[in-house]
């Protein structure tokens, strides 16, 4: 027994040091003292002596810096250099671009929650709120989405004029250049509100404020380019587009086949140094109406007119629409969401070098420029549009489910519908928190490469889920297109957001964990960077520090994951109040599990992990759900810990934790080295999988929140256009919702009288009049039921058309003939 006690004490001391991430020196001292004290008190001198010898044999060589570097780190450095995979140019640039924010804490296995909670609360300033209440409200009142999507396939002239006049295209442009100079949060808020009325309008406004000429000019343009273009872009005098994607290169921009060749050519009698560009681009938003085209291409200098290099690399330029040889104007038709989008082409188009963004010295820096700007633009545009869509779905579907009746009951009371409503409410809470968190990161000066990928993927994926649930609840109302249908176009447009700015499959399987594992890890990038240090002594010292920090990090995460697993995440100091403390502790557990699995997968598989995309995708899911859950907790704190929001927070949090568990389980279960897989399972899930999806009872509470007016619903539908104007069915539905709820007890009283057979009329209004005469209801109740009946009749109505209205004005045969004539 004394031997066991001594061994156990030594293990506990070691585990405690690892759990709290004590230094190697602290571990050695603590373990030796514990072994000596417990061993002698327990009467086990020989066991104590043997353990001391083992402990000192481990600690002393490791604490001798020179010996450790020469005998341990040097051979490992040589081995590491051989097995470390060579990164492609695309991967290297992506890794070096951007910054690391709180997602790095989540990868640490021991997040510092105070770092998260001390971040300032994101809020609109007075000017931004005035813009939301003024021009944005007015623009929403002008939007007729059926006119845009079906009749014009474009914004009407008055809408184009309005967005230019009020500088909607200049939100990110500083005031010194005539723009609005808004924060990322305001940019996001504007897009969310517009998205509740029209995906086409929201996309049209998003693109000039996202990845495009304005963003690139702000960061890399010359003073001359900024002073010329930015004031024109701010007021819509210039309409920008950015041409990156082509038939043979999409996500991997470094493989684009579009090229430019540096050369000289006589222009207006003057020999001019420039380049001939050949390009074939497609899917370019705003291209058909653009007046200035941002172009990505690979630049070659065969005559070495600019320097010693022949292949200069990816380069970016700005071409005026009037450039001779630039072919532009035709349109794509993306799923009945007719934002301006189309191809552009050019062959041997000569332009001077002055069109290069930033000037000739920026030739070859295009991919880095794109990646850095994309991490900012992607954090705002698509997540904001998706968030506006799902917020709108809460307002519309919650109200519709409450007022639509079947079998004498509001359909919101049916458990199947309730389940869909719970998903809509819970996932919208998570999506809104995620969108706000990424916008806040941009406003703090970050370039959030990993969070932007998380936001783009999950906001659009959950947008797809919520759009499907909304259509399920609306039934036939949702599938009959027409002016009365506010849900159908949203469903049609979902795949567009899924596909653009990095297809979701690629974003999930390659980007989130692929970048996060190296960028967010506290040691991996340092180890890789050490290989590029020229001086061997410096290289070895840098590698040694990173290596042993990494080893301690791995041991700590194994201990933390196991300890928090066997205790059910019930121990440890953390943030939060009595209600949320358990949530923070659960995140601590899965943060340690993610760090442990990531280290193990990278250590065992090495470079092969890059090709194990399904494993990478699952670990990326874990990082994503931890980040989203953190964003929800920050939102809960920022809004004053409102008790009314707790069902929404609880539903979304449990959903994230259940998905986290399943992603970890899938990654461990499919890990190809089975003994390692078994060990990981024992450490991560010592008592098996204990997380469960949100309960039916919790889902019922969420459904109740989104089907009745209240403070939690108001926060969930923030930045939704709810003014009950003639063009806003959702706004009018929500205005009627209090009357619908007030009418419910009166309707029950009226229905009870109907069952007695005392009414002779067969129509509703006639029976209502008889109920009034019979004293079943009073005059105010009669008016209430009549008003609700008429309002609900409008909102459940669908459109029908004369067959001639549905025929295309231009047939496929007409189009073929026109193309043949043009050829």
Catalytic sites, residue numbers: 501
Enumerate the β-bridge partners of residue 284.
342
Render 706-724 in DSSP notation, one character per residue.
HTS-SHHHHHHTTT-----
Q: Can you say whether the dihedral through the CA atoms of 483, 486, 491, 496 is positive or negative?
A: positive
Distances 137 to 48, 71, 160, 186, 724 between C-alpha atoms, Å? 77, 70, 15, 14, 11
Residue 288 and residue 334: Cα distance in Å, rounded? 14
What's the half-sphere exposure (Cβ side, CA atoms, 13 Å) at 131? 25
Show Cβ contacts of residue 102 under 8 Å, excluding neighbours closer than 6 positions.
Answer: 111, 115, 116, 119, 627, 630
Coil, helix or strand at residue 263: strand
Element (H, E) at 699: helix 696-706
Pairing of strands 292-300, 259-267: parallel
Classify the phi-psi angles of 408: left when phi > 0, otherwise alpha if psi is within -120 to 50, otherwise beta: left
Distances 744 to 474, 709, 776, 792 between C-alpha atoms, Å? 20, 15, 15, 13
Structure tokens at 700: 């019922």
Render 330-355 in DSSP notation, one character per residue.
-----TT---SEEEEEEEEEEEEGGG
Residue 301 and residue 483: Cα distance in Å, rounded? 56
- Least Cα distance to 315 among 364, 260, 261, 355 occurs for 364
Yes or no: say if 135 and 194 are a contact pair by the CB < 8 Å rule.
Answer: no
Yes or no: say if 22 and 31 are a contact pair by the CB < 8 Å rule.
Answer: no
Yes or no: say if 662 and 730 are a contact pair by the CB < 8 Å rule.
Answer: no
Render 235-262 in DSSP notation, one character per residue.
TTSS-EEEE--BTTBSS-GGG---EEEE
Residue 473 and residue 469: Cα distance in Å, rounded? 6
Residue 328 and residue 321: Cα distance in Å, rounded? 8
What's the half-sphere exposure (Cβ side, CA atoms, 13 Å) at 670? 15
Structure tokens at 11: 């293990």
Show Cβ contacts of residue 212 under 8 Å, excluding neighbours closer than 6 positions.
Answer: 240, 241, 242, 294, 377
Distances 159 to 164, 166, 232, 259, 718 between C-alpha atoms, Å? 9, 11, 18, 37, 24
Yes or no: say if 264 and 272 are a contact pair by the CB < 8 Å rule.
Answer: yes
Residue 150 and residue 73: Cα distance in Å, rounded? 67
Q: Count the residues in the chain.
A: 823
Show Cβ contacts of residue 811 under 8 Å, excluding neighbours closer than 6 positions.
Answer: none
Long-range CB contact pairs, 574-579, < 8 A, 24+: 574/113, 575/113, 575/114, 575/116, 575/117, 576/113, 576/633, 577/641, 579/641, 579/646
Q: Can you say whether the dihedral through the CA atoms of 481, 486, 491, 496 is positive or negative?
A: positive
Yes or no: say if 551 and 603 are a contact pair by the CB < 8 Å rule.
Answer: no
Distances 44 to 14, 29, 224, 555, 578 between C-alpha atoms, Å? 19, 20, 82, 28, 45
């Amino acid at each position: 027994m004394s031997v066991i006690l001594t061994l156990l004490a030594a293990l506990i001391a070691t585990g405690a040091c690892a759990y709290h991430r004590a230094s190697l020196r602290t571990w050695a001292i603590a373990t030796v003292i514990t072994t000596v004290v417990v061993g002698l008190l327990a009467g086990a001198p020989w066991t104590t002596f043997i353990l001391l010898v083992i402990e000192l044999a481990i600690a002393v060589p490791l604490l001798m810096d020179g010996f450790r570097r020469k005998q341990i780190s040097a051979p490992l450095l040589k081995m590491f250099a051989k097995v470390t995979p060579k990164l492609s140019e695309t991967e290297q640039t992506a890794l070096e671009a951007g910054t690391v924010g709180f997602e790095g804490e989540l990868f640490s296995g021991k997040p510092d929650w105070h770092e998260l909670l001390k971040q300032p609360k994101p809020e609109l300033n007075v000017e931004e709120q005035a813009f939301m209440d003024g021009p944005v409200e007015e623009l929403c009142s002008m939007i007729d989405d059926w006119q845009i999507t079906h009749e014009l396939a474009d914004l009407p002239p008055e809408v184009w004029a309005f967005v230019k006049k009020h500088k909607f295209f200049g939100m990110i442009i500083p005031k010194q250049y005539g723009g609005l100079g808004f924060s990322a949060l305001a940019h996001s808020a504007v897009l969310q509100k517009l998205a509740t009325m029209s995906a086409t309008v929201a996309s049209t406004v998003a693109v000039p404020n996202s990845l495009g000429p304005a963003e690139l000019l702000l960061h890399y343009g010359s003073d001359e380019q900024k002073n010329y273009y930015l004031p024109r872009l701010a007021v819509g005098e210039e309409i920008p587009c950015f041409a990156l994607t082509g038939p043979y290169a999409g996500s991997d921009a470094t493989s684009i086949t579009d090229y430019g060749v540096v050369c000289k050519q006589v222009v207006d009698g003057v020999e001019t140094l420039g380049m001939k560009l050949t390009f074939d681009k497609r899917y370019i938003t705003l291209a058909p109406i653009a007046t200035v085209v941002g172009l990505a291409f690979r630049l070659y200098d065969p005559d070495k007119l600019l320097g010693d290099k022949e292949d200069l690399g990816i380069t970016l330029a700005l071409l005026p629409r009037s450039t001779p040889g630039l072919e532009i104007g035709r349109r794509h038709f993306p799923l009945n969401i007719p934002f301006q989008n189309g191809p552009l082409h050019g062959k041997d188009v000569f332009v001077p070098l002055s069109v290069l963004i930033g000037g000739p010295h920026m030739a070859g820096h295009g991919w880095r420029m794109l990646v850095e700007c994309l991490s900012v633009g992607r954090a705002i545009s698509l997540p904001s549009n998706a968030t506006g869509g799902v917020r709108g779905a809460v307002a519309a579907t919650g109200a519709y489910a409450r007022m639509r009746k079947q079998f004498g009951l509001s359909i919101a009371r049916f458990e199947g519908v309730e389940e869909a409503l719970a998903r809509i409410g819970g996932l919208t809470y998570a999506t809104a928190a995620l969108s706000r968190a990424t916008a806040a990161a941009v406003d703090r000066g970050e370039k959030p490469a990993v969070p932007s990928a998380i936001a783009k993927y999950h906001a659009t994926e959950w947008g797809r889920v919520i759009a499907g649930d909304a259509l399920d609840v609306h039934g036939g109302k949702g599938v009959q297109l027409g002016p009365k249908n506010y849900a159908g176009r949203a469903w049609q447009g979902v795949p567009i957001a899924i596909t653009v700015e990095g297809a979701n499959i690629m974003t999930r399987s390659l980007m989130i964990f692929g970048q996060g594992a190296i960028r967010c890890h506290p040691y991996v990038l340092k180890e890789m960077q050490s290989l590029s240090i020229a001086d061997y002594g410096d290289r070895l010292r840098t590698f040694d520090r990173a290596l042993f920090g990494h080893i301690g990090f791995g041991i700590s995460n194994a201990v933390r994951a196991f300890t928090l697993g066997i205790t059910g995440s019930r121990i440890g100091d953390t943030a939060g109040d009595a209600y949320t403390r358990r949530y923070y502790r659960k995140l601590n557990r899965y943060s340690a599990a993610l760090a442990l699995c990531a280290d193990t997968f990278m250590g065992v598989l090495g470079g092969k992990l890059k090709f194990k995309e399904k494993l990478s995708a699952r670990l990326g899911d874990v990082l994503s759900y931890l980040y989203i859950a953190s964003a929800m907790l920050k939102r809960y704190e920022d809004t004053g810990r409102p008790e009314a929001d707790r069902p929404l927070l609880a539903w979304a949090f449990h959903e994230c934790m259940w998905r986290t568990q399943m992603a970890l389980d899938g990654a461990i279960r499919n890990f190809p080295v089975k003994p390692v897989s078994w060990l990981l399972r024992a450490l991560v899930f010592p008592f098996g999988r204990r997380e469960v999806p949100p309960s039916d009872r919790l889902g019922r509470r969420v459904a109740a929140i989104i089907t009745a007016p209240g403070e939690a619903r108001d926060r969930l539908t923030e930045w939704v256009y709810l003014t009950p104007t003639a063009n806003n069915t959702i706004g009018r539905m929500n205005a009627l919702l209090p009357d619908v709820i007030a009418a419910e007890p009166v309707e029950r009283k009226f229905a009870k009288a109907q069952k007695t057979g005392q009414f002779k009329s067969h129509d509703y209004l006639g029976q209502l009049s008889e109920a009034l005469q019979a004293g079943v209801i009073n005059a105010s109740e009669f008016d209430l039921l009549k008003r609700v009946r008429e309002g609900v009749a409008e909102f459940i109505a669908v459109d029908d058309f004369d067959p001639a209205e549905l025929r295309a004005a231009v047939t496929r045969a007409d189009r073929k003939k026109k193309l043949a004539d043009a050829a």
